[in-house]
A = this chain, B = another copy of it.
């Protein structure tokens, strides 16, 4: 997305945010003039927010600001590191023991990352502490060689943040599977809980824009310390039958 477009979207977002829910926005010609862009460009940006359910366009009547369904952007649909999340939730956290090792990929990991079975992977494990108590345990598995040793030195606790900061390869999205598991011995020890106690688990595949998986991760969370949510939409997403020639 171009910079100008980004700027237009941000400015429009601000205008929408400053308009009380239920109120009508200025008409498109007025708003376009006011913002110094053409009506066509404005309409494209409008479509963005219509997709997000932030505005509702009634033909020949006007464009209305919707009641914000809580906070549309603060849910799981936006990918951010646990550290960033914890910081935003006001939870004072620090990184516990870090374990970094190179090893052979398991079959599961090789499949997930699209590697040969004998490939080497980088295994990064660390816990997140709050008040000296582990509340999250994160395991990232990446193809070996992706991150240089000198880069590893400035590892702050988040593989995602490191990749984002580096800027390459460009990341697109993460597929995150949500599960509940019973703590095994390793996890029980990490969290100081009983074996068999329930833990929230995310299994995630991090995709680049080219569609490759460059991070396969497991995240375990002690119940009660994190609050994840998703905004689910009522049938707005167009759902074509996916590429039959490839499938």
Which residue of the partner chain, among B21, B40, B180, contacts A223 with CB atoms under 8 Å?
B180
Task: For the complex, give the distance between the alpha carbons of A164 and B232 in Å.
Answer: 14
Q: CB-CB contacts of A205-230 with B at 8 A, as 1s and 0s? A: 10101111000000001010001111
- Contact assessment for A232 and B76 in the assembled complex, using a CB-CB cutoff below 8 Å: yes
A243 interfacial by beta-carbon distance below 8 Å: yes
With an 8 A cutoff between CB atoms, is A174 at the interface? yes
The total of chain A residues at the interface (CB under 8 A) is 86
- In the complex, whether A106 has a CB less than 8 A from a CB of chain B is no
CB contact under 8 A between A175 and B229, given known A17-B243, A21-B211, A207-B67? yes
**A197 at interface (Cβ–Cβ under 8 A)?**
yes
Rounded to whole Å, the gap between the CB of A148 and the closest CB of chain B is 22
Inter-subunit contact B198/A230 (CB<8 Å): no
Of the candidates B10, B50, B53, which one forms a contact with A172 in the assembled complex, judged by CB atoms under 8 Å apart?
A: B53
Q: Which 9 A-B pairs have the closest CB atoms?
A: A198-B198, A67-B211, A79-B232, A17-B240, A13-B240, A180-B223, A13-B238, A177-B229, A174-B232
Question: What are 23 sample pairs from A and B whose C-beta atoms fall under 8 A apart?
Answer: A16-B240, A17-B241, A22-B211, A47-B47, A49-B238, A53-B173, A68-B211, A69-B207, A71-B242, A73-B239, A74-B239, A76-B230, A78-B237, A164-B234, A174-B232, A174-B234, A176-B230, A177-B227, A178-B230, A180-B180, A181-B223, A198-B198, A198-B223
